[in-house]
């Protein structure tokens, strides 16, 4: 329990930081790719969709799982707080509130990673839909 108490912030916030870094790298890569892709090079719509949606699953997974990582940090933080209270035999309201406040920062951090990830995912998915429609219009002989 001492290891968890000493390293909980590093583990949870480090994991969320890594998720955030990966998310930003994928978003930048996808926006750059989607802005320069040449639709004429694709002969089949499925190959186009495969190339356009590459890494979007990872981005979606980060957005949907970051709150759970934050929640895990909160639950473990509350667990450590209660364990510490139980070991001391003395219940101080200040110590309880401080422990709970520190635990809740993990949930906030998880949401700070998840909300932008889902927003970027939705924006990129819309861009994929637009590019797919433009490809179809080119195939039909119309310009989009």
- Alpha-carbon dihedral sign for residues 41, 44, 47, 49: positive
Q: 59 and 119 in contact (C-beta within 8 Å)?
A: no
CA atoms lying within 13 Å on the CB side of residue 1: 11
Region 52-72 average pLDDT: 96
Per-residue pLDDT, 21: 98
Per the model's pLDDT, the better-predicted residue between 80 and 129 turns out to be: 129
| Burial zone of 138 (CB within 10 Å; 0-12 exposed, 13-18 middle, 19+ buried) | middle
Q: Please list, in sequence order, all residues whose beta carbon lies within 8 angstroms of the beta carbon of residue 80, skipping any fewer than 6 positions away.
A: 1, 4, 5, 8, 99, 103
Question: What is the reported pLDDT for 71?
Answer: 95
Residue 61 and residue 59: Cα distance in Å, rounded?
5
**Residue 90 confidence (pLDDT) above 80:** no
Distance CA 5, CA 70 (A): 16
Q: What is the mean pLDDT of the chain?
A: 91
Predicted confidence band of residue 134 (pLDDT cuts 50, 70, 90): very high
The residues, any chain, with a CB within 8 Å of residue 97's CB and separated by 6 or more, are none
Q: Is the dihedral of CA 49, 53, 54, 60 positive or negative?
A: negative
pLDDT at 114 over 90: yes
Identify the residue with better confidence: 74 or 101: 74
Please tell me the distance from the alpha carbon of residue 4 to that of residue 79, in angstroms, as a whole number.
10
Q: Model confidence at 86, in pLDDT bands (50, 70, 90)?
A: confident
pLDDT at 108 over 90: yes
Kindly report whether the global pTM for this prediction surpasses the value 0.75: yes
């Amino acid at each position: 329990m001492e290891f968890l108490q000493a390293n909980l912030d590093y583990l949870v916030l480090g994991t969320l930081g890594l998720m955030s870094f990966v998310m930003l790298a994928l978003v930048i890569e996808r926006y750059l790719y989607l802005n320069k892709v040449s639709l004429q090079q694709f002969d089949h719509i499925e190959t186009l969709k495969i190339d356009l949606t590459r890494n979007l699953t990872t981005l979606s997974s980060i957005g949907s799982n970051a709150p759970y990582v934050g929640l895990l940090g909160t639950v473990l933080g509350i667990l450590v707080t209660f364990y510490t209270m139980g070991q001391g035999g003395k219940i101080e309201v200040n110590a309880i509130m401080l422990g709970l406040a520190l635990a809740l920062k993990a949930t906030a951090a998880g949401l700070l990673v998840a909300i932008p990830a889902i927003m970027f995912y939705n924006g990129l998915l819309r861009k994929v839909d637009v590019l797919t429609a433009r490809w179809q219009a080119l195939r039909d002989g119309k310009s989009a």
